[in-house]
Structure 1
Amino acid sequence: MSSIQLPDPTSWGGALLLSDLGIIQAEGADAASFLHGQFSQDVNGQPADEARLAAYCSAKGRMLASLLSLRPQPEQFWLLTDAQVLPGLLKRLSMFVLRAKAKLADAGASLSVVGLLGAPAGASLGEAAQATQEAAWKVQAHGQGLLVSLPAVLGTQRWYWVGPKAEAQALVSSLPAVEPGAWAWLDVMSGVPRIEASTVDQFVPQMVNYELIGGVNFKKGCYPGQEVVARSQYRGTTKRRAFVVHAEQVLSPGQEVFSLADPGQPAGLVINSASVGGVHSALVELKLSAIGTDLRAGSADGARVVLGDLPYPLPSAEEAA
């Protein structure tokens, strides 16, 4: 496989409606405490100006959903998650509300998520963009919605805007269009995983680097799967991690990846994938022992897969594994 020439996204800019993201609204006097007891994140202590990644896990510590939590009001939360995962997540969470003063609902009929990218979006957002560009996951009110800074990718700034559907549509219409494939590719390159329908119940958070990017709070106390997640953290070096890869063909979430050093069993699983300009990239969970070996997609006879660069470091002991 020849060396891959990655696209330069610094010239990309504009907006698009992110229909692949859904929003659960949680509100009520007990909303914070209820969510705090369900997620891997400190929800009780979440300030209004900070978005927080969170995992919702099974009792075995496997991620049933990945979320981004926003707190527009002290007793209200907007939970961004994969649109196809949302129905099952909402149903499962609702089972455990019981007597808590918390109401959960799919907010898709009233709220939308807009992806904003690059210099054109930054210029349009003005002071709100400047207020959030210092670091990822900062939140600023903008219009009737919330603006969230995302991790910059290859020198390109990105944001979510979350708010009323009519205002979302007006925002998208006011800026150049961004291709969905380009946005998805930047998501992959950011190294921030999203649990999709095909990968529900597959990964302990550490297997997809979730604790490295702030998605797990190890001091917050109990939640489903907490003992497994904590044990994975403290029993020794993690044996599997997420890596950015590039391939000769399109990869699919849930697709297995094989190492020719041990072709009899899968070495990993595709988490998220995207293609832009003929470049096929993915975030893939891999055994650390497979790093440096010949990797193939789908089977030992499949298309070659090569490692790319994560935008954040792995723990040094694992890098050397």
Structure 2
Amino acid sequence: MLKLSQLENISQLPDLALCPLDSWDLISVTGEDRITFLQGQLTCDLTSLKPGQQTLAAQCNPQGKAWSIFRVIVLEDRILLTQPSSVTAKQLPELQKYAAFSKVEINKETEYRAFGLVGRKSAQYIAEEVDTAATHDQSRLLESGTVIIKQPYPSLRYLAVMKNETAEELLEDLQNRAEIFDDSLWNAMNIASGIGFIEPETSGLFIPQMLNLQALDGISFTKGCYIGQETVARAKYRGANKRALFILTGRADDAPKAGDTVQILLNNNWKRCGTVISGCQYGDGHIEVLAVLPKDSSADDVYQIKEIEGSTLYYAPLPYQVEED
């Protein structure tokens, strides 16, 4: 299985690449109260979603800090939440403890699995081997139970969620037709997309707006109450949030890790200014980082990762606009 470190840059991406998301979990929420229960837990509006549709969302603590960020996928009989496996042990009990008085069950999903298809021929493969219409919609639920979700910038890519037996057949076919990468490639593309998923080191530290979730349609400000809603609303209506998610790029000997410290060069001295949410490193030593920094950070600033000696990073533009709170 190939790794991101075997690519010098994203331009070397093969025409078709498969990314089994082995370090990601699917959390399954079932039961007749699943929508109303999650409506009181997550920042998104579940009532507006139909089977086959999806959105980003955060689960917050009572102080409005995000335990995790998910991609929420609505199926006919369950709702799936995708997140890095590393944060599940911290996040899942926080969700389960509120379920005692609702008719829901919350567990790690065992009937479905997720993987990524990447590259300029990914749409062609899905059209020919899965479903032609699935390449045209933002997300589509097929009769087989498969959900195909078109992912944002930087390259054509799809998140596929399939029942185990369907996935086995497709993955067997892809073994001889695609380059197989571990999910370090998927992580790099999430970084380039400006989408910051939470790891244990950053769980419970940042309100959703610090992670740009309002710019990614992951927060509803009209849905009513949910855990942490008062803090999230105050950040919007009172301008209380002074931080945001940025992309930084540069060179370093190692890939930055979630929770690492970002420093800014001021008057020839390094000063702490932010926290790494996720980082990746290509084979030529080029690194890309998602970091929470002050909202007034400038494109002219110079940064480094405190834990990586000799690292130098600079501002890179996000592929979306972040409106003022």
Give TM-score scaled by structure 1 length. 0.88
**Quick one: structure 1 residues 299 and 253, their matched pair in 2 at CA, closer, same or farther if it must change by over 3 Å?**
closer
Figure out how many residues of one structure are paired with residues of the other and give that number. Answer: 308
1:165, distance to aligned residue in structure 2 (A): 2.6
Within the candidate set 269, 279, 286, 2:275 is matched to 269
- How far does residue 242 in structure 1 lie from its aligned partner after superposition? 0.9
Is it true that 1:78 corresponds to 2:84 in the alignment? no
1:1-321 map, 5 Å: 7-8=10-11, 11-73=14-76, 75-107=77-109, 109-126=110-127, 131-134=133-136, 136=138, 138-141=139-142, 143-153=144-154, 156-175=155-174, 176-180=178-182, 181-236=184-239, 238-249=241-252, 250-261=255-266, 265-278=271-284, 279-291=286-298, 292-298=300-306, 302-315=310-323
Q: Which whole-Å CA distance do the structure 1 matches of 2:226 and 2:315 have between them?
A: 34
Q: 1:239 to 1:130 in 2, by over 3 A?
A: farther
Q: What value does the CA root-mean-square deviation take over the aligned residues?
A: 2.4
Distance 1:238 1:29, change over 3 A: same
The superposition leaves residues 203-251 of structure 1 with CA deviations (integer Å, 9 ceiling, x where unpaired) of: 1111111110011011011111111111111112742111111131121
Deviation at 1:91, TM superposition (A): 1.4
Structure 1 residue runs of 5 or longer lacking an equivalent are none
Q: Distance in 2 between matches of 1:300 and 1:273?
A: 12
Gaps of 5+ in 2: 1-7
Q: What CA distance in whole angstroms lies between the structure 2 residues aligned with 1:90 and 1:185? A: 25
For residue 3 of structure 2, what is the aligned residue in structure 1?
Answer: none
TM-fit CA distance, 1:182: 2.6
Alpha-carbon distance in structure 2 between the residues aligned to 1:9 and 1:220: 43
Query: 1:301 and 1:90 mapped to 2: Cα distance?
Result: 36
> SS of the counterpart of 1:34?
helix
Percent of aligned positions with the same letter in both sequences? Answer: 23
Deviations 1:97-156 (A, max 9, x none): 12211111111x3321111112332222117665344564x2332644211111131xx2
Output the CA distance in 1 between the equivalents of 2:114 and 2:159.
6
Counterpart amino acid of 2:288? S
CA distance in 2, matches of 1:299, 1:276: 18
Distance 1:115 1:297 in 2: 29
What SS does the aligned partner of 1:310 have?
coil
Could you tell which deviates more after superposition, 179-188 or 292-301? 292-301
Whole-angstrom CA distance in 2 between matches of 1:77 and 1:174? 28
Segment drifting more, 92-101 vs 212-221: 92-101
Change (3 A) 1:242 1:173: same
CA distance 1:235–1:130, change in 2 (3 Å):
farther
Amino acid at match of 2:281: S
Cα contact 2:197–2:277 (8 A) shared by 1: yes
Q: Hey, what's the Cα distance between the residues in 2 that align with 1:209 and 1:130?
A: 33
1:183 CA drift (Å): 2.5
Q: Which runs of 4+ in 1 moved over 3 A?
A: 9-12, 127-136, 262-265, 299-302
Q: 1:301 to 1:185 in 2, by over 3 A?
A: closer
Residue type at the aligned position of 1:288: K
**C-alpha separation in 2, matches of 1:266 and 1:115:** 35
Question: Within 1, Cα distance between the matches of 2:271 and 2:143?
Answer: 49
SS of residue matched to 2:153: strand
SS of alignment partner, residue 223 of structure 1: coil
